[in-house]
Amino acid sequence: MRILLILGIPVLAIAAAIAMMGLREEPPKKERVDLDPLVDVIVLEARTTNFEVRSQGTIRPKTETILSAEVSGTISSISPKFVAGGVFKANEILMRIDPTNYKVAVDQAEALVAQRQIEYDGARKLRSQGYRAEAEYASAVAALASAKAEHVRSKKNLQRTYIRLPYEGIVRSKESDLGQFVNPGTRLGVTFATDIAEVRLPLTDLDLAFVNLPEAIDVAEAGGADGPAVVLFAMRKGQATEWPATIVRTEGVVDEKSRVTYAVARVVDPYRLHSKGPALPMGTFVSARIKGAAVSGLFRIPNSAVRGGNELLFVDADNTLRIRQVDIIRSDSEYSYFRGANEGELAVTSALEAPIDGMALRTSADDDGSSKIATTEIGDEG
């Protein structure tokens, strides 16, 4: 009897649990609703855009001179400005070669000219009186001309003992010194002008489509032309610094190795010797922002909306997805600019994991019930 009682207790507990479960009401069933993907869209609006082309290069002087001696002699004096980094003015004497021999040569040439002049005057007088032959007169004329030519050459050699330049500039290097004997052609140093600096900016073929560069005929006729404005920038003394420049020409050829075309930008008074502002030393590596040409009829969309390089997702009037390839003209850090769409079309900007052409979509506005399609417009460029 005790055993039956022990076995009966679990059986009764199980029966009671089953009875209680049968008394519980079933939860209400909800109808399953399949929702279409929710996306954000923008209204495409054609615009005219000025693209900014980027490049870089190294600042170089427009005029650089390798100084060489034109006469022989010992260097007798040197300007304290004739040192690396020395700034000099136009026609300032930087160096002097001993002029003693050349002064003597000038005196001798002047004396010879005076003697030949006397001989010529006498020959002319006698010829007019019929006492001299025509050949003797011609010889006197030639001797006088030769003496005058020698006088000019000797004075020119005396001037060549002064080492000076026709421009304001800076000494890059000094390669001779006081007391050194030099011959014609001996290298004395290197200088460059400070009035204008230039920088070669490499541009790809795609860049050329967005920059109005000066034509070769304009450069040939005017010696330079005003092209697009350029802003050069670099770090100077720990601070980001900018300098204005202008493209004045291209080098007219495509580099065979890099396949780029070099545009040349000009900076006026880079060392700010006659103007205010930070100096731009030669050899500085700079980045460049070139003002591009205006291109009309383009559409703009965030880069995140572009798939596979040139594919966009569109939404038609029936909230149906359309996948289409477009012509991406250019991209920057935020937007891609393209052709291949119509004014007022709707482009998807949100991400879709597996988009299928023709699939149904919902927009954020549809989800709120306020309108059929919600849009976010991108304003015009400044």
pLDDT in tens, 254-279: 889 999 999 999 999 999 999 999 99
Question: Could you give the CA distance from residue 56 to residue 285 in angstroms, rounded to a whole number?
Answer: 7
CATH assignment, 99-160: 1.10.287
Lowest mean pLDDT among 12-21, 123-132, 287-296: 12-21
Q: Reading across the β-sheet that carries 41-43, which strands appear in turn?
A: 41-43, 346-348, 311-315, 321-325
- pLDDT value for 189: 96
pLDDT digits (tens, 9 = 90+) for 315-364: 988 889 999 999 998 888 889 999 989 998 999 998 888 888 888 888 76
Q: Is the pLDDT of residue 164 over 70?
A: yes
pLDDT digits (tens, 9 = 90+) for 34-60: 577 888 888 899 988 888 899 999 999
- pLDDT value for 29: 61
The CA-atom distances, in angstroms, between 291 and each of 21, 116, 131, 211, 225 are 80, 68, 82, 7, 16
Q: Which fold has domain 73-97+163-194?
A: OB fold (Dihydrolipoamide Acetyltransferase, E2P) (2.40.50)
Question: Could you give the CA distance from residue 98 to residue 78 in angstroms, rounded to a whole number?
Answer: 11
- pLDDT value for 377: 40
Please tell me the class of the 53-62+195-292 domain: mainly beta
Q: Is the pLDDT of residue 210 over 70?
A: yes
CATH assignment, 38-50+296-368: 2.40.420.20
Question: Could you give the CA distance from residue 187 to residue 174 in angstroms, rounded to a whole number?
Answer: 9
The mean per-residue pLDDT over the stretch 277-291 comes to 94
Q: Is the pLDDT of residue 376 over 60?
A: no
DSSP 26: P
DSSP 354: S
Report the relative pairing of strands 285-302 and 261-268 from DSSP bridges. Answer: unpaired
pTM exceeding 0.95: no
- pLDDT value for 165: 95
The CA-atom distances, in angstroms, between 232 and each of 201, 202, 261 are 11, 14, 18
pLDDT digits (tens, 9 = 90+) for 211-259: 888 876 666 554 556 788 999 999 988 899 999 999 998 888 888 999 9
Phi, psi of 10 (to 5 degrees): -60, -35
Domain ranges of the chain: 38-50+296-368, 53-62+195-292, 73-97+163-194, 99-160
Question: Could you give the CA distance from residue 247 to residue 201 in angstroms, rounded to a whole number?
Answer: 9
- pLDDT value for 272: 94
The mean predicted confidence, pLDDT, of the chain is 85
